[in-house]
C-alpha cells in the first residue's frame, strides 16, 4: 500500500471513529415518578444520543427502569415510565432546562449541559404542576427553592419543605438554612413536582 493511500485511509478511519462520539451529548437527567424519584435525584450527567427521548432511554439503561413508547398521530409518545401508565389528563411529560417544549421528545435536540426532567403530571386548565429546583445559596447550609411553570417562569418556592437527615424545615420565603447536616437535601411543596437533591 502506498504511503499516501495509507494516510488517507488512516485519516478517514479516525473521522469515522469520531462520528458517534461527536453526535452524543452530556446531559443531566432526572426522572420523577408519581410518589418517588425514579432516577437521578442529583441530576447525573449521562451520555445521550441526541434528543429528550434518547435522554429517557439513557436513564432507563443506567437506572434499569422500564418505559414504553406508543405511536400516536403526533409521533412517539411515552405512555409509561416505571409502574404507571398515562390515562385521562395524567401522564408523563418532560422539560428541558425548566421549560416544557410544545412538541414530542424526539423533536427536541439536546446540547451539552442541558437538564432534562421527565415527570408524572396531571394537567388542568392552567397546564401542569410547577417543578421545583433546589440550589445551594452562598451561605453555608442554606438553600433556595425555585418553582418553575411550564414556560420556565421562576418564582421562589414559598412554603416548600426541605428534607434532610430525617427532619424537615419550612422555607417560608423559599429560602432557608437547615443547619449542619450529613445527607442530601431535597424540597417538596404541595401541588409541585419534588426537587433535585443537593449536598
Alpha helices in the chain (DSSP H): 3-23, 52-63
Nearer to ligand B12, 77 or 143 (CB): 77
Can you tell me which of 38, 59, 93, 192 binds ligand B12, judged by CB under 6 A? 93
SS3 144: strand
Output the nine-digit C-alpha cell for 1: 500500500
Nearer to ligand B12, 42 or 72 (CB): 72
Map the footprint of ligand B12 across residues 46-75, applying CB under 6 A. 72-75
Q: State in angstroms the smallest separation of the CB of 132 from ligand B12.
A: 17
Residue 111 burial (CB count, 10 A): 10
Nearest to 83 by CA among 71, 59, 66, 69: 66
Shortest-Cβ-distance residue relative to ligand B12: 91
Contacts by 40-45, CB closer than 8 A, 24 or more apart: 41/184, 41/186, 41/196, 41/197, 42/184, 42/196, 42/197, 42/198, 43/115, 43/196
Nearer to ligand B12, 91 or 174 (CB): 91
Nearer to ligand B12, 20 or 102 (CB): 102
Burial of 92 (0-12, 13-18, 19+ CB in 10 A): buried
Map the footprint of ligand B12 across residues 98-137, applying CB under 6 A. 100-105, 123
User: Which stretch in 43-51, 58-66, 82-90, 186-194 sits in contact with ligand B12 by CB under 6 A?
Assistant: 82-90
Size of the site for ligand B12 (CB under 6 A): 23
Q: State in angstroms the smallest separation of the CB of 2 from ligand B12.
A: 53
Nearer to ligand B12, 123 or 142 (CB): 123
The site for ligand B12 (CB under 6 A) is made up of 72-79, 86-89, 91-94, 100-105, 123
Amino acid at each position: 500500500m502506498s504511503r499516501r493511500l495509507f494516510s488517507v485511509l488512516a485519516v478517514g478511519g479516525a473521522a469515522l471513529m469520531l462520528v458517534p462520539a461527536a453526535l452524543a451529548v452530556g446531559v443531566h437527567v432526572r426522572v420523577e415518578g408519581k410518589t418517588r424519584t425514579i432516577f437521578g435525584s442529583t441530576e447525573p450527567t449521562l451520555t445521550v444520543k441526541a434528543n429528550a427521548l434518547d435522554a429517557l432511554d439513557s436513564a432507563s439503561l443506567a437506572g434499569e427502569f422500564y418505559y414504553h413508547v406508543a405511536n400516536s398521530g403526533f409521533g412517539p409518545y411515552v405512555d409509561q415510565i416505571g409502574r404507571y401508565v398515562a390515562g385521562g389528563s395524567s401522564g408523563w411529560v418532560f422539560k428541558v432546562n425548566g421549560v416544557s417544549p410544545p412538541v414530542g421528545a424526539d423533536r427536541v435536540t439536546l446540547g451539552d449541559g442541558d437538564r432534562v426532567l421527565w415527570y408524572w403530571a396531571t394537567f388542568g386548565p392552567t397546564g401542569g404542576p410547577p417543578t421545583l429546583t433546589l440550589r445551594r445559596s452562598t451561605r453555608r447550609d442554606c438553600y433556595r427553592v425555585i418553582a418553575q411553570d411550564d414556560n420556565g417562569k421562576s418564582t421562589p418556592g414559598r412554603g416548600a419543605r426541605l428534607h434532610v437527615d430525617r427532619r424537615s424545615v419550612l422555607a417560608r420565603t423559599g429560602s432557608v438554612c437547615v443547619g449542619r447536616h450529613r445527607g442530601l437535601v431535597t424540597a417538596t411543596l404541595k401541588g409541585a413536582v419534588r426537587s433535585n437533591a443537593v449536598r
